Amino acid sequence: MFREMLDAKREFHHAQRRYPIGAEVIGKDQTHFRVWAPRAREIDVVLEDGARSKPIFYALTSEPGGYFSGAGNAGAGTHYRFRVNAGENFYPDPASRFQPEGPHGPSCVVDPRQFRWADTNWPGPALAGLQGQIIYEMHIGSFTKQGTWRAASEQLPELARIGITVIEMMPVAEFPGKFGWGYDGVNLFAPSHLYGTPDDLRAFIDRAHSLGLAVILDVVYNHFGPDGNYLGVFSDNYLVREKGNEWGDAINFDGPNSGPVREFFITNGRYWIEEFQFDGFRFDATHAIRDQADEYIIGAVGHAAREAAGSRSILLIAENDLQEAKMARPLNEGGDDLDGMWNDDFHHSAVVALTGRNEAYYGDYLGAPQEFISAAKYGFLYQGQALSWRQALRGTSTLGIAPEVFVCFIENHDQIANTGPGQRLRSQTSPGRYRAMAALLLLGPWTPLLFQGEEFGASSPFLFFADVGDASVREATRKGRAQWLAPFLSLSEEEALRSLPAHDDPQVFARCKLDFSEREKNRQLYNLHIDLLKLRREDSRFRQQIPGGIDGAVLAPASFVLRYFAKDNDDRLLVVNFGESQIMYPAPQPLLAPPSGYRWETLWTTESPRYAGASAALIATPEQWVLPAESAVAVRPCTSANHAN
């Protein structure tokens, strides 16, 4: 009879639970705990209170499959840990919702129902449709001097005003140390205490939604960080020891006892969408995930996230170095049903065109006009060709994939840091070429991404920084970075070790913080980005992302034209010249011909004095074309000869 009562009580608590793991408030000063710990014979919840001399222990009940569960007298804000097999050490919850003292400290019970959402009718974003999206990658710790969600939320109105539509937040899952990029997270359900409380994060997202901004989260499902990772105490099956990637042991998504591991990550996806109202994910380094299961784990997480979002639309974007286009194809075509993929090909071509670099993976790109035309028409440049950098074939066909699927950028956290000194791209090229590339990025048919501060020409670098306490991890990280960056710097590993800034130096982190006074100091560059975002948003043709609606032609070794076809002769040309001024006479290129009965007029140019340009204008007449040096010019058809220049 007593066992039947226990079973009934356990079923009662399970019926009230939202998720299969973690601590959940189920009543006044009542919390239900559930953890997967197949290594354990017994598990106790240890309730800790600084006012008490001794902690309180609650024994959890063993369940089939290695789970333990039970309820205790604890409300929101209670600190707790788990004791395994009556041992002397206590450990944080693998599915902790908050670690107020970091990954080595106690977990904290959180009641998400206490937060009152103001914007309850937010529909969510979609990549397709008029205007599309402009993504803005943000690292909370360095975005403001304070490095908190509260401080970052104060900047959201300005981002919305200039035309940003989606914030892509770099990883926030709890990680060790006082600062870091966040890709070494160990408590994947716990927003980092360094940036504020879980409700501070909710308030940031609520504020963003009120301004029309979506917020997606960068999640790391390819490895766990090494420091502060206590998963091995509970189970040997989270990781596959004999298989690894460049960051360590691979996660067990398809091996023995992998079901609860998959459940952990699928639940994590649901959790961020439901309890924080995130608008989707950017999945980090999916090429490093080992999974041969019938349903790829990223597709499974995405499916669960969409179900959790209900009527809200969300964005699911992958970083995939192999450029496996199937990730962005629908399920009925054998794909993983994601919305977008990062396009490194575009970035690498852009860097070569602007700087002439040819080391490391830049050696597989020419920076030639045809590469940008191909990127506009087909997305990825490598769709099965040999890549010398990886000594392997790269990519698969993108046939039939819409242009907005490809997320293009000329800066992101990785690419800036891969310069070694963390140099922004504008400092590596001429102002004219940089303005022209910014125009191509923001007017192209893809989905553009800007990295924090790029819009106003931030002078702050973005270096790799990580406050690592463990000496062995710190040394391994230092050597790993030197080994990776040595080819980019044309140095030996030993030389790179000596020259790279110390990643655990607080001053290295401090140098990466933005200075918003540069919005005025660099007003001309800020104007450039604001005007480009407005042109993309308001122009009748640039605002549309039409599959197959664009063609291009090489005009000279450093110049090309993209033609945006439209109904009713409302075509646009984007003429980009990274080289010297040139006169095209004759101009035997049909894409330069205006619609019948029309002539061309300049709609917009990077050479405006408003952007510190040289005031040189493109001149398009029936006789000749004059292309200003290092410029981009948008052209539209005009019926009036008085406006044709």
Phi, psi of 115 (to 5 degrees): -85, 135
Higher pLDDT, 183 or 643: 183
Same CATH topology for 135-356+386-429+447-466+501-533 and 539-643: the answer is no
Alpha-carbon distance of 406 to 420, in angstroms, equals 27
pLDDT digit string, tens, across residues 323-359: 999 999 999 999 999 999 999 999 999 999 999 999 9
Mean pLDDT of the chain: 93
Question: What value does the mean pLDDT take over residues 139-144?
Answer: 98
pLDDT score at 8: 42
Residues 6+ apart with CB under 8 A from 16: 24, 26, 32
Q: What is the distance of C-alpha 92 from the center of its chain?
A: 28
Contact between residue 343 and residue 446 where contact means Cβ atoms under 8 Å apart: yes
Q: Is 225 helix (H, G, I), strand (E, B) or coil?
A: coil
Half-sphere exposure of 505 (CA within 13 A, CB side): 11
pLDDT band at 51 (very low <50, low <70, confident <90, very high): low
| Domain layout of the chain by residue ranges | 2-114, 135-356+386-429+447-466+501-533, 469-500, 539-643
Higher pLDDT, 418 or 375: 375
pLDDT score at 241: 73
Alpha-carbon distance of 538 to 518, in angstroms, equals 26
Q: Is residue 5 predicted with pLDDT exceeding 80?
A: no
CA-CA-CA-CA dihedral for 321, 497, 172, 278, to nearest 10: -30
Looking at domain 2-114, its CATH superfamily turns out to be: Immunoglobulins (2.60.40.10)
pLDDT score at 50: 64
pLDDT digit string, tens, across residues 520-579: 999 999 999 999 999 999 999 999 988 999 999 999 999 999 999 999 999 999 999 999
Structure letter (DSSP) for residue 362: G
Alpha-carbon distance of 571 to 567, in angstroms, equals 8
Q: How far apart are the first and last CA of the chain?
A: 92
Question: What value does the mean pLDDT take over residues 7-27?
Answer: 76
Q: Is residue 1 predicted with pLDDT exceeding 80?
A: no
pLDDT score at 14: 61
Q: What is the β-pairing status of strands 79-84 and 90-91?
A: antiparallel
Which CATH number describes the domain made up of 135-356+386-429+447-466+501-533? 3.20.20.80
CB atoms within 10 A of CB 232: 12
pLDDT score at 618: 80
pTM of the full structure: 0.96
Sequence length of the chain is: 645
pLDDT score at 477: 87
pLDDT digit string, tens, across residues 239-278: 987 666 766 788 999 999 999 999 999 999 999 999 999 9
Alpha-carbon distance of 150 to 148, in angstroms, equals 5
pLDDT score at 472: 81
Question: What value does the mean pLDDT take over residues 437-450?
Answer: 98
Q: Is residue 396 predicted with pLDDT exceeding 90?
A: yes
Which long-range contacts does 21-24 make (Cβ < 8 Å, 24+ apart)? 21/94, 21/95, 21/263, 21/264, 21/267, 22/93, 22/95, 22/96, 22/97, 22/189, 23/74, 23/80, 23/93, 23/95, 23/96, 23/97, 23/107, 23/109, 23/110
Q: Which residues are catalytic?
A: 284, 319
Looking at domain 539-643, its CATH superfamily turns out to be: Golgi alpha-mannosidase II (2.60.40.1180)
Alpha-carbon distance of 274 to 297, in angstroms, equals 19
Q: Is 490 helix (H, G, I), strand (E, B) or coil?
A: coil
pLDDT band at 54 (very low <50, low <70, confident <90, very high): confident
Q: Is residue 13 predicted with pLDDT exceeding 80?
A: no
How far, CA to CA in Å, does 78 sit from each of 30, 98, 105, 115?
10, 11, 13, 17
Structure letter (DSSP) for residue 363: G
Contact between residue 227 and residue 468 where contact means Cβ atoms under 8 Å apart: yes
Contact between residue 476 and residue 441 where contact means Cβ atoms under 8 Å apart: no
**CB burial readout 531-546, b (16+ within 10 A) else e:** bbbebbeebebbebbe
pLDDT digit string, tens, across residues 571-625: 999 999 999 999 988 888 999 999 999 999 999 999 999 999 988 778 888 888 9
Token digits for 442? 């923001």
Q: Is residue 642 predicted with pLDDT exceeding 50?
A: no
pLDDT score at 587: 84
Question: What value does the mean pLDDT take over residues 376-387?
Answer: 96
Place of tokens 């506009």: 376
Percentage of the residues of the chain whose pLDDT score is greater than 70? 95
pLDDT digit string, tens, across residues 382-391: 999 999 988 8
